[in-house]
C-alpha cells in the first residue's frame, strides 16, 4: 500500500554561521486513516517537519513523497496546487479574517480554487455543520469563543476534503475544557476516516493520538503506542 506521506532520511539545514540542522535524517510514514502526534519542545524541529509535510518548505537532503509522488521535482505552482487540494491546515492562532463571517471564512479555500459559488456555499455549510458551528455561520470571529474560532478553523481546513489534516499546536491558545472539545472533534474526524498529523508540545494532547512520535534536536527519538 502506498503511504499518504513518506519522509525518507530527510535532513533540513539552515545556513549559518553556524549551520543549523533542524531535521536530521528523519524517516516517517503516514498511511491513510492514521492519527499521528509529533511531540517535542520548542526548537526540537517539529515545526520544520510540519512545513516540509505541508509543502511549505523543501528538504535539504532526502525524499518526501506525497501519495507516492516525489515532491522534489515539483514546481512552486504544482506544490501550491497540491496544498490546496490534498492538505488542510489548522493553526494555533486560528488565522480567521476578522471582517468575514464564519461561513465566509470557511468558504475561502474554495474561492481560491475557483469553485462555483453554489458549490462553495453548500460545502462550507456542510463543514460548519460537521464541527457543530452551524448556528454561528453568520457571526464574525471576534464574537466567538476560542473553541468556536478553532472549530471554524477546522471547518475551513476540511472544506476542500483534504487527504491529510495538518494541525500545528491546535490547542495552544485554548483552556483545558476547550482543548478536550477540540481533541474529541479530531478523534471523531479520524474515526470517520480523516488522516491527521498533529504537532504539539503537550504530552497529554499527544497521548490521545493513535501514534505518538517524539522529536528532539531534529531526530525522531522514540515511537510510543498511545
Average pLDDT over residues 48-57: 94
pLDDT at 226 over 70: no
**Strand duo 195-200 + 219-225: pairing:** unpaired
Q: Where are the alpha helices (DSSP H) in 58-175?
A: 76-86, 102-112, 117-130, 146-158
pLDDT number for residue 199: 94
pTM: 0.91
Supply the pLDDT for residue 85: 86
Q: How, if at all, do strands 35-39 and 211-216 pair?
A: parallel
**Average model confidence (pLDDT) for the chain?**
91
Give mean pLDDT, residues 152-156. Answer: 94
Q: Is 167 helix (H, G, I), strand (E, B) or coil?
A: strand
Q: Which pLDDT tens digit goes with each residue over 179-205?
A: 999 999 999 999 999 999 999 999 999
Of the candidates 82, 80, 35, 69, which has an alpha carbon nearest to the alpha carbon of residue 191?
35
Mean pLDDT to the nearest integer, 82-100: 90
- pLDDT at residue number 205: 92
Residue 223 has pLDDT above 70, yes or no: no
Q: Please, which pLDDT band fits residue 114 given cuts at 50, 70 and 90?
A: confident
pLDDT value, residue 17: 84
**What is residue 32's predicted lDDT score, i.e. its pLDDT?**
96
pLDDT at 110 over 80: yes
Question: Percent of the chain having pLDDT more than 70?
Answer: 98
Does residue 27 surpass a pLDDT of 90?
Answer: yes
Burial 147-156 (b: 16+ CB within 10 A, else e): bbbbbbbbbb
Specify the CATH number of the domain 5-225: 3.40.50.300
Helix (H) or strand (E) holding 153: helix 146-158
Give me the residue spans of the domains in the chain: 5-225
Separation of alpha carbons 105 and 113, rounded Å: 14
pLDDT value at 222 more than 70 = no
Amino acid at each position: 500500500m502506498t503511504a499518504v506521506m513518506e519522509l525518507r532520511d530527510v535532513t533540513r539545514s539552515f545556513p549559518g554561521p553556524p549551520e543549523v540542522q533542524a531535521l536530521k535524517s528523519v524517516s516517517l510514514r503516514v498511511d491513510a486513516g492514521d492519527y499521528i502526534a509529533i511531540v517535542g519542545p520548542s526548537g526540537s524541529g517539529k515545526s520544520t517537519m510540519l512545513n516540509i509535510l505541508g509543502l511549505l518548505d523543501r528538504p535539504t537532503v532526502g525524499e518526501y513523497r506525497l501519495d507516492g509522488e516525489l515532491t522534489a521535482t515539483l514546481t512552486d505552482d504544482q506544490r501550491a496546487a497540491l496544498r490546496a487540494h490534498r492538505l488542510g491546515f489548522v493553526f494555533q492562532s486560528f488565522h480567521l479574517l476578522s471582517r468575514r463571517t464564519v461561513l465566509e471564512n470557511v468558504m475561502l479555500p474554495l474561492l481560491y480554487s475557483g469553485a462555483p459559488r453554489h458549490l462553495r456555499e453548500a460545502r462550507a455549510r456542510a463543514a460548519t455543520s460537521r464541527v457543530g458551528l452551524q448556528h454561528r455561520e453568520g457571526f464574525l470571529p471576534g464574537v466567538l469563543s476560542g473553541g468556536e474560532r478553532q472549530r471554524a478553523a477546522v471547518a475551513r481546513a476540511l472544506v476542500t476534503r483534504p487527504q491529510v489534516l495538518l494541525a500545528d499546536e491546535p490547542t495552544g491558545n485554548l483552556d483545558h475544557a476547550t482543548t478536550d472539545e477540540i481533541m474529541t472533534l479530531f478523534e471523531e474526524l479520524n474515526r470517520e476516516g480523516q488522516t491527521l498529523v498533529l504537532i504539539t508540545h503537550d504530552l497529554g494532547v499527544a497521548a490521545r493520538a493513535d501514534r505518538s512520535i517524539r522529536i528532539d534536536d531534529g531526530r525522531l527519538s522514540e515511537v510510543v503506542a498511545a
